[in-house]
């Protein structure tokens, strides 16, 4: 009889690998199987957004990714070759105020290498060909080089991409639309007077073209195919660029080119009892704005800690159901904005170009709009709908960070080094319990919270936040953090392992907090 696994992950794209990496830090037993026989060599997604880097920092791979990547601080928008406006990412409120460009094949290589350090390998040449769901487990059929294996697992996670076998077997409609226009894509070497550390987006009467630096003079270009032949050789790609960018350049070499259709599709529910879908298996959107892979990474991080709570604390299924509710809402929002951005990029009505030019030139000068757009691209302003898992107790100003929103970038002073440290780094796999202590707080105030930590071992990392320097905890100099979080005299914030605020409270009432934890884990 085969031993039951906790989790069987299908697919070793960026989302499957992120989930595997997150689970390996929680000590769950899992396998990750991949149909392809070798690592992917296709660069597909090249944009890693700030929010994903925050999540990757929790997995300890952000540095490795950045070391190999190009950091983009700014994007430029042109109309018929004339510069109009810029998108500036430097004032994003995150430790990573930029867009990171790295070919997807490299991102996958780095995630897989880190996974190997935890003793887990991707099982290649291994395809899921069937499964059956029972009340307490799922049985999967795997094919490996002509051999059939049956595996029992508590959960199957379909990270098997846009053509997901898991989704099809479950009979889930992938609702949405496919755009009529196709897009061309090419990696080219080009000499031009434009910065190779910035993104350039050109609008023209022939259509749009976007350019992203990959290496010093190697660029990824994508553009919508309006009319005329598909650019498939050096000359055609030269013309394609000439007609749209309208800046002086010399095309040196075409490394590869491709064409793709744009789709916007999503499933109704991301989870079905013991089977969950993450990444492109659950939603696909236009690559405009570089969101697809990043949305899948956030799915994986949302689901990972919930699976851990079920495994470690025997949490009940409504917690897992919240994965579907939260991530569907987030993915739907991303689908809406990438759809709008794609429609706008594809307008391409020559007599409307002067109007488009005006809108581009002036709209990004409006600071709140610019802030909204850059935060949206960085996925920093995505928040989850109100639910039983997000709770506020006591009165807080509406301007303070709320449950359901990502924890804002916050630094505190380390008691020993006296240096500023990033608060989220204090807990990289479990919940973070921030206890804002009153002036002259005594130790007995912390006792009930310590007891709770014994009841749920490892569930949270408690961080007492003092108003002045103490032996333990950290210091909130000048009460800046407490003010920002809307804490009056004392209070607490609970941050989830995926960086979202779960709960907050004015005052330090351990019983109310304990009731919240109980409900979060064991709601029926
Ligand atoms: C041209 C292009 C440009 C893009 N640019 C961006 C960008 O800049 N930023 C961005 O965020 N996103 C971008 N995307 C989207 C991004 O590539 C996808 O969102 C991402 O690959 C999804 O990752 P995934 O792990 O969910 O699925 P995939 O990467 O598709 O991985 C799924 C894996 O599952 C395996 N598999 C399938 N079926 C089975 C089975 N039955 N058994 C075992 N294994 C199986 C497959 O072999 C595959 O390796 C782009 C996409 C394209 C096509």
User: What is the CA angle 460-463-469, rounded to 5?
Assistant: 170
Rounded CA gap, 308 and 195, in Å? 45
56 occurs within a structural domain: no
Q: Which of the pair, 347 or 334, is modelled with greater confidence? A: 334
Closest Cα to atom 42 of ligand 1: 127
Closest Cα to atom 33 of ligand 1: 11
Whether residues 108 and 184 fall in one domain: no
Whether residues 437 and 319 fall in one domain: no
Closest atom of ligand 1 to 212 CA is 8
pLDDT at position 7 over 70: yes
Closest atom of ligand 1 to 46 CA is 8
Phi and psi at residue 434, to the nearest 5°: -95, 115
Over residues 184-209, mean pLDDT: 91
Q: How many domains does the chain have?
A: 3
Whether residues 341 and 425 fall in one domain: no
Over residues 93-99, mean pLDDT: 94
Over residues 52-62, mean pLDDT: 94
Percent of the chain whose predicted confidence (pLDDT) is above 70: 98
C-alpha 404 to ligand 1 mean position (Å): 27
Rg, the chain, Cα only: 24
Closest atom of ligand 1 to 40 CA is 49
Secondary structure class of 488 (helix, strand, coil) = coil
Rounded CA gap, 484 and 410, in Å? 10
284 occurs within a structural domain: yes
Whether residues 10 and 115 fall in one domain: yes
Hunting for tokens 């994965």 — which residue is that?
A: 323
Phi and psi at residue 238, to the nearest 5°: -60, -45
Separation in Å, CA 239 to CA 191, 225, 250, 418: 15, 13, 11, 59
Residues with CB under 6 A from ligand 1: 10-16, 33-36, 44-47, 104, 127-128, 159-162, 165, 185, 260, 279-280, 287, 290-294, 296
Closest atom of ligand 1 to 17 CA is 25
For helices 104-117 and 14-24, give the axis angle rounded to 10 degrees: 20
Rounded CA gap, 253 and 349, in Å? 31
Strand order in the sheet with 70-72: 47-48, 99-101, 70-72
For helices 292-313 and 14-24, give the axis angle rounded to 10 degrees: 30
pLDDT at position 2 over 70: no
Of the three residues 311, 336, 368, the one that is the final residue of a domain is: 368
What lies within 8 Å, CB to CB, of 338 at 6+ separation is 264, 285, 286, 287, 288, 289, 291
Whether residues 183 and 160 fall in one domain: no
Q: Which of the pair, 468 or 313, is modelled with greater confidence? A: 313
The CB density around residue 139, as the number of other CB atoms within 10 Å, is 17
Whether residues 437 and 516 fall in one domain: yes
What is the per-residue pLDDT across 61-90, written as a single tens digit (0 to 9) for each? 999 999 989 999 999 999 989 999 999 999
Whether residues 339 and 278 fall in one domain: yes
54 occurs within a structural domain: no
CATH number of the domain enclosing 248: 3.30.9.10
300 touches 15 (CB < 8 A): yes
DSSP for 25-62? TTT--EEEE-SSSS--------EE-HHHHHHHHHTT-H
Over residues 331-347, mean pLDDT: 87
What is the per-residue pLDDT across 401-456, written as a single tens digit (0 to 9) for each? 999 999 988 877 776 776 777 777 777 789 999 999 998 888 788 999 999 999 99
CATH number of the domain enclosing 460: 3.40.30.120
Whether residues 77 and 202 fall in one domain: yes
111 occurs within a structural domain: yes
Q: Which of the pair, 347 or 27, is modelled with greater confidence? A: 27
pTM for the structure as a whole:
0.94
Rounded CA gap, 380 and 168, in Å? 32
User: What is the CA angle 159-320-403, rounded to 5?
Assistant: 110
Closest Cα to atom 30 of ligand 1: 161
55 occurs within a structural domain: no
Whether residues 270 and 315 fall in one domain: yes
CATH number of the domain enclosing 115: 3.50.50.60
Of the three residues 368, 401, 435, the one that is the final residue of a domain is: 368
Phi and psi at residue 180, to the nearest 5°: -70, -45
Of the three residues 311, 346, 381, the one that is the final residue of a domain is: 346
Mutate which of 160, 299, 338 for ligand 1 pocket (most atoms within 8 A of beta carbon): 160
Eight-state DSSP code of residue 398? T
C-alpha 280 to ligand 1 mean position (Å): 6
Range of the domain at 321: 5-46+103-176+265-346
Select from 252, 496, 286 the least CA-distant residue to 389: 496
* Burial of 147: CB neighbours in 10 Å, binned 0-12, 13-18, 19+: exposed
C-alpha 40 to ligand 1 mean position (Å): 10
Phi and psi at residue 501, to the nearest 5°: -75, 130
Predicted confidence at residue 152, as pLDDT, reads: 97
Whether residues 146 and 232 fall in one domain: no
User: What is the CA angle 429-433-435, rounded to 5?
Assistant: 155
Whether residues 318 and 193 fall in one domain: no
423 occurs within a structural domain: yes
Q: Which of the pair, 223 or 469, is modelled with greater confidence? A: 223
Select from 514, 504, 384 the least CA-distant residue to 447: 514
91 occurs within a structural domain: yes
Secondary structure class of 431 (helix, strand, coil) = strand
92 occurs within a structural domain: yes
- What average pLDDT does the structure give for the chain? 91
Structure-token pair, residue 262? 């744009």
Separation in Å, CA 34 to CA 19, 105, 158, 270: 14, 15, 11, 21
C-alpha 13 to ligand 1 mean position (Å): 6
Q: Which of the pair, 199 or 350, is modelled with greater confidence? A: 199
Whether residues 352 and 311 fall in one domain: no
Closest Cα to atom 4 of ligand 1: 45
What is the per-residue pLDDT across 225-261, written as a single tens digit (0 to 9) for each? 877 677 888 999 999 999 999 999 999 999 888 888 8
Closest Cα to atom 14 of ligand 1: 45
């Amino acid at each position: 009889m085969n031993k039951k696994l906790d989790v069987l992950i299908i697919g070793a794209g960026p989302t499957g690998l992120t989930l595997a990496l997150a689970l390996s830090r929680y000590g769950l037993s899992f396998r990750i199987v991949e149909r392809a026989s070798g690592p992917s060599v296709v660069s597909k997604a090249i944009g890693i957004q700030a929010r994903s880097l925050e999540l990757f920092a929790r997995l300890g791979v952000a540095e490795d990714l950045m070391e190999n990547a190009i950091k983009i601080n700014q994007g430029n928008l042109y109309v018929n070759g004339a510069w109009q406006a810029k998108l500036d990412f430097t004032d994003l409120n995150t430790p990573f105020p930029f867009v990171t460009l790295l070919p997807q094949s490299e991102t996958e290589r780095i995630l897989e290498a880190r996974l190997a350090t935890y003793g887990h390998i991707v099982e290649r040449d291994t395809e899921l060909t069937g499964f059956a769901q029972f009340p307490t487990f799922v049985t999967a059929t795997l094919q490996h080089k002509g051999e059939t294996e049956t595996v029992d697992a508590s959960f199957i996670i379909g990270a098997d991409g846009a053509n997901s076998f898991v989704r099809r077997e479950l009979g889930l409609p992938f609702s949405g639309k496919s755009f009529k226009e196709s897009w061309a894509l090419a990696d080219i070497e080009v000499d031009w007077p434009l910065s190779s550390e910035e993104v350039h987006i050109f609008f023209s009467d022939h259509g749009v073209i976007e350019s992203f630096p990959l290496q010093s003079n190697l660029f990824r270009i994508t553009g919508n195919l309006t009319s005329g032949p598909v650019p498939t050789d050096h000359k055609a790609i030269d013309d394609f660029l000439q007609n749209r960018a309208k800046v002086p350049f010399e095309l040196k070499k075409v490394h590869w080119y491709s064409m793709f259709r744009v789709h916007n599709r999503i499933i109704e529910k991301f989870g079905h009892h013991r089977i969950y879908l993450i990444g492109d298996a659950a939603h696909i959107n236009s690559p405009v704005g570089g969101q697809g892979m990043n949305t899948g990474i956030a799915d994986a991080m949302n689901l990972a800690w919930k699976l851990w709570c079920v495994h470690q604390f025997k949490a009940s299924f409504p917690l897992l159901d919240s994965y579907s509710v939260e991530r569907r809402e987030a993915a739907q929002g991303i689908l809406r904005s990438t759809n709008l951005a794609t429609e706008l990029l594809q307008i391409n009505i020559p007599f409307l170009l002067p109007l488009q030019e005006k809108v581009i030139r002036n709209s990004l000068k409006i600071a709140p709009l610019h802030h909204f757009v850059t935060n949206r691209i960085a996925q920093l302003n995505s928040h989850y709908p109100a639910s039983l898992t997000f709770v506020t107790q006591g009165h807080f100003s509406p301007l303070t960070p709320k449950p359901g929103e990502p924890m804002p970038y916050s630094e505190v002073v380390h008691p020993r080094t006296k240096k500023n440290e990033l608060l989220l780094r204090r807990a990289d796999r479990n919940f973070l319990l921030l206890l804002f202590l009153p002036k002259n707080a005594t130790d007995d105030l912390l006792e009930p919270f310590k007891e709770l930590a014994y009841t749920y071992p490892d569930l949270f990392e408690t961080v007492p936040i003092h108003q002045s320097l103490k032996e333990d905890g950290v210091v909130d100099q000048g009460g800046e953090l407490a003010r920002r979080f809307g804490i009056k005299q004392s209070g607490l914030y609970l941050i989830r392992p995926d960086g979202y605020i779960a709960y907050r409270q004015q005052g330090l009432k351990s019983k109310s907090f304990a009731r919240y934890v109980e409900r979060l884990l064991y709601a029926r």
